[in-house]
Structure 1
Amino acid sequence: MKFLKYMLIFIPISLIAKFMNASPSLMFVLAALSIIPLAGLMGEGTEEISFYSGPKIGGFLNGTFGNATELIISFFALKEGLFEVVKSSVAGSVIGNVLLVLGASMLAGGLKHKTQYFNKKVVEVSSSMLLFAVVGLCIPALFTHTVDPKLLNTRYEGLSIFVAIIMITIYILSLVFSFFTHKEIYATASEEENTATAKWSLKKAILVLVVATILIAIESEFLVSGIEPLTKTLGLSEFFVGIILIPIIGNAAEHSTGIVMAMKNKMDVAIEIAIGSSLQIILFVTPVLIFLSLFFTPMSIEFNQFELIALIVAVLIVNRVSSDGESNWLEGVQLLAVYSIIAACFFIL
């Protein structure tokens, strides 16, 4: 994680480049290189706050701010009317978390530890919730693909808002489930986290979090303004940028944390990072983006057929892999292989 701090040099470089009217494609690259360490700082800040707020609230903050980068980037994309990029980045975040992050974590952890074990009960709850969330996200999209487009009218936007309300309600209820009614299921993980101590003061942690959020907002605007010129220059599709590039940029720090935890034989934490982050993307980030789109041009929950297939396959695979309460390096390779195939398909679109 130390190398991320050296990447902070790209922040002043990107600001100077913007002042000198650098090309949008160059600004995309510089902004991407700036956002990666800022996302890392944001994660570190929330981790430090957790020592003062307690592990449960700290874990919630970690997940929320872990996806803040994605939310900020998507907000500016919404503002620019890049709905395909926004929707594909939602799908890409889920696919990336459950295939790329979990696959890399299982591979790295499995090479160091022959077989790794995790709390089957916790993972069953999370993976079942993820399956529900993806089904809820896909049903409106499948509806549009099975009905004659002529029959669809403005009421479909109302359907998207209705689904968004249900999803954010389920998200709130899941917090009640984990924090209050069934908190004993998560007790083991909480006890383990209490052994570490804070490196920063609470004031410093909050300041880092605020500054990192502001800088990410600035860099996200640079990044989004360069998407269309970049796709034209390199011949990439907006789907590839949304599905592969933006999720990797926004979640790079979180991804590396999952791999480090797996190598420390903390597979519970690595799996929770992958599945928990995906859950929050679907149940919290997506509804918030739909509500925000009402201030610009309303965005509907409509994915193309291949995005739907990729989402459903990814979640079914992670449910199968996590069902036995143990993992090894071969399962990691299999998840990475599926992710590579999906990425290659979107690359040639």
Structure 2
Amino acid sequence: MAQQAEKSSFNGSERAAVFLMSLGEDAAAEVLRHMGPKEVQRLGTAMATLTNVSKSEVSQVLEEFNAAVQEQTALGVGSDEYIRKVLTSALGEDKAGGLINRILLGRNSKGLEALKWMEPRAVAEIIRLEHPQIIAIVLSYLDADHAADVLSYLPERTQPDIMMRIATLDGIQPNALQELDDILERQFAGSNNVKASTVGGVKSAANILNFLEPSKEAALVESIRAADEDLSQEIQDLMFVFDNLVDVDDRGIQALLREISTESLVLALKAADEPLKEKVFKNMSKRAAEMLRDDLEAKGPVRLSEVESAQKEILTIARRMAETGEIVLGGKGSEEYV
């Protein structure tokens, strides 16, 4: 009975964190490589909050995963350093840096930094009554995927104006950013170091739009076009959509294919242009390409939302690989090499 009580004290994320931390740094890093940013953050947060986990608790978790591992773990002993090593190994130093800070320091963050640690709906509630320019600055300060989620909770009528302000925002003076930080700090107490800054700009707006649902993305782009056609074109030039993968070089496509599941690829290609499909087939072995063609032909009608979800999943992986230098994304907004 005592064991049952201990078992019930862990939620799903915590059980996964215990399991991962039992595997060791290298194995845990390999698992994390196959997860999206949000999953990595969720598990990293759980690992950071676990302390003094007993061997009996670990054994209970391992039984749930039906895996045999050694009893000795790093749990509760220098867990911050363990998390830094695992995330750095999984994501690379540059990519892991900001995420590590959000996980290990986020619990004590205040002001603007605290917003990075909050649920999108909560952030939206805090800023929804602020001036659109303030909202634009806040969204520019957040990571693009987080900002996109926050934007989706703001009133639709204000979203085009906010996106245009983000796109035309040319940085912000440190004292102004500190003042904004102080205002937010008074709303939920505390203070934090503010690094200032270059926030906003067309690229920032494009990055946020990339993480929106396709229908919302299209509607916002159209609204911006109606107000400022040139600005809309600048934003679109920097956006990277699924069919832009056709501009990625062969080595990059091969590296990307190694990171995605066949099921996701089949779904994503259902609505892809023929040139992209041929690009994918060309960068697979003959047998693998034939099997993929067969899978595409055998796949019956699927919901557009499922296709779009698979494409977004692959784009997320592609952007992650681009940030770590594993591939170079093409498209109209990419840099050319001479």
The TM tier, using the shorter chain, reads under 0.3
* Length-normalised TM-score, structure 1: 0.25
Larger RCO (alpha carbons 8 Å, 6+ apart): 1
Q: TM-score, normalised by structure 2?
A: 0.26
User: Which structure has the bigger radius of gyration?
Assistant: 2
